Amino acid sequence: MPPEPATVLAEANRSPRTQSREVRRQQLIEATISTLAARGFARTTLTEVAKTAGISHGLVLFHFETKEKLLTETLTFMTEEYHQNWQAALAAAPADPAAQLLALIKADFASAITTPARLGAWCAFWGEAQSRPIYQEACGEKDAAYIRQLEVICEELVRQGGYGVDAIIAARILRVVIEGTWLDMMTMQNPYAPTEALRTVMSTAALCFPKHFR
């Protein structure tokens, strides 16, 4: 079970030597996210992560042993964070499929999920061929769960609205647009804000399901 927020805060204010193992590991994961965003996948090293975290290289080795283990745990953390974010959004939404799709889309642009560091880290993992085995192992099952949930919602919208659109294709279009706006927010010279990205995706939803979205 993860430590309570108050415990994390108290631990963070203690000296580096006395911080708990879990707090230290989380600090290193956050430092890895920042390093990936700043330097990319290939140039992220244990030494660079140590510099970002403000600790010794040896301490990084003590907690993670290798770069691959550190990257794997970082990606596993980000994947679980993303998974819990959209699941919580769906759980809080009404059962109506339009409300559920809106909640699912908004969850993808929540401020905690679309920080520059997290977007940059996701792009680093997506952009390097050598990261694909790590990505598939950490994310494959949860990616499939997200895609299936999106398809189920689109299937219900098609049924309700009598749309002449393939629900699977509509779900794929929405997913590709979401991923594309994430890339735009990270890689464009003048990136737009998450609010504009959300408008772009909602315009796509309106094209697919015009009776439900405008």
The contacts found for 77-86 with CB under 8 angstroms, 24 or more apart, are 77/26, 77/29, 78/33, 78/118, 78/121, 78/122, 79/138, 79/139, 79/142, 80/142, 81/112, 81/113, 82/113, 82/142, 83/142, 83/145, 83/146, 85/110, 85/112, 85/113, 86/146, 86/149
**One-letter amino acid for residue 177 of the chain:** V
The pTM score is 0.83
List Cβ<8 Å contacts ≥24 apart for 62-66: 63/21, 63/24, 63/25, 63/28, 64/25, 64/28
Give the pLDDT of residue 130: 65
| Displacement of CA 123 from its chain's centroid (Å) | 10
Closest Cα to residue 109, out of 19, 182, 187? 182
Q: Are 49 and 70 in contact (CB under 8 A)?
A: yes
Domain span at 45: 1-65
Q: Give 97's DSSP letter.
A: H
CATH number at residue 79: 1.10.357.10
CB 105 within 8 A of CB 16: no
pLDDT at 62: 85
pLDDT for the residue numbered 121? 93
* 91/28 same-domain check: no
Give residue for tokens 């430590």.
3
Predicted confidence at residue 196, as pLDDT, reads 92
Same domain (yes/no): 73, 156: yes
Q: Are the C-beta atoms of 131 and 71 separated by less than 8 Å?
A: yes
Confirm if 63 and 28 have CB atoms less than 8 A apart: yes
CB 70 within 8 A of CB 32: yes
Distance CA 27, CA 33 (A): 10
Q: Which residues of the chain have pLDDT under 50?
A: 1-12, 15, 18
Q: Which pLDDT belongs to residue 60? A: 85
- pLDDT for the residue 4: 45
Same-domain pairing of 167 and 83:
yes
Q: Same domain for 109 and 196?
A: yes
CATH assignment of the domain containing 45: 1.10.10.60
pLDDT for the residue numbered 129: 62
Do 181 and 194 sit in the same domain of this protein? yes
